[in-house]
Amino acid sequence: MAMLQEERDIGVLTAVMSLLLSIVASTPEGYSGVVPKCIRIMERLTSLRDVPQEYTYYGIPSPWLQVKTLRVLQYFGMPDDPSERKTLLEILPRVLANSQTVDNVNKNNAVHAVLFECINLVIHLEEQNDMMKQCIQLLGKFIAVREANIRYLGLENMGRLALIPEMLENIKKHQDQIILSLKDNDISIRRRALDLL
């Protein structure tokens, strides 16, 4: 499987990552060797931006491949190798920083898909308080937008961060907006806000 992750063709690589994601979702044991390759794929997409034009979607290098790669990484812990760890810790803040909302719905969907998987990985790794604080700031913006799906995902992910005691003070800064969500027309948003509170 690790050899297939070295594929240069983005279409084939996306198919490989779909297969890998299915495999590790059922049993990640024995597949930790894919982690360095996943980190290199993310580096290729986010740092080097080594992606053909036909796989760039509204200026985002292959968001589908990024989502799958970030999701695969969530089945494993932080890499032990210092250089891999360093590379991953450089990639994640870069992805978080590229999350500006624009007027184009399609671009927003792609940006948010990558962003929420990145946030899920940061939460999973639970190692970088600064990055988790950055996630809370982003989620604070998302729970205040008009788009119901984004508000829902923001509240849901903030709820996951609330399970980490060190993050509670940062989440409390958004308490007014969370309380305001209790009055939302959408019952699922009200439930998420109530769960978070």
CB 137 within 8 A of CB 98: no
User: How far apart (Å, rounded) are the C-alpha atoms in residues 171 and 192?
Assistant: 14
Average pLDDT over residues 120-143: 88
Answer yes or no: is pLDDT of 173 > 60. yes
* pLDDT value for 4: 67
CB 171 within 8 A of CB 161: yes
Mean pLDDT of the chain: 89
The phi, psi pair for 56, rounded to 5°, reads -100, 125
* pLDDT value for 98: 78
Answer yes or no: is pLDDT of 174 > 90. yes
Answer yes or no: is pLDDT of 73 > 90. yes
CB 120 within 8 A of CB 161: no
**C-alpha triplet 150, 156, 159: angle, nearest 5°:** 140
pLDDT band at 101 (very low <50, low <70, confident <90, very high): low
* pLDDT value for 26: 94
- Token pair 């063709």 is found at 9
Answer yes or no: is pLDDT of 60 > 60. yes
Average pLDDT over residues 101-109: 76
pLDDT tens, residue by residue, 9-20:
888 889 999 999
Instruction: For 42-73, give one letter per residue: b (16+ CB within 10 A) or e.
Output: bbbbbeeeebeeebebeebbbbbbbbbbbbbb
Answer yes or no: is pLDDT of 82 > 90. yes
Answer yes or no: is pLDDT of 116 > 80. yes
Average pLDDT over residues 81-98: 92
Answer yes or no: is pLDDT of 2 > 60. no
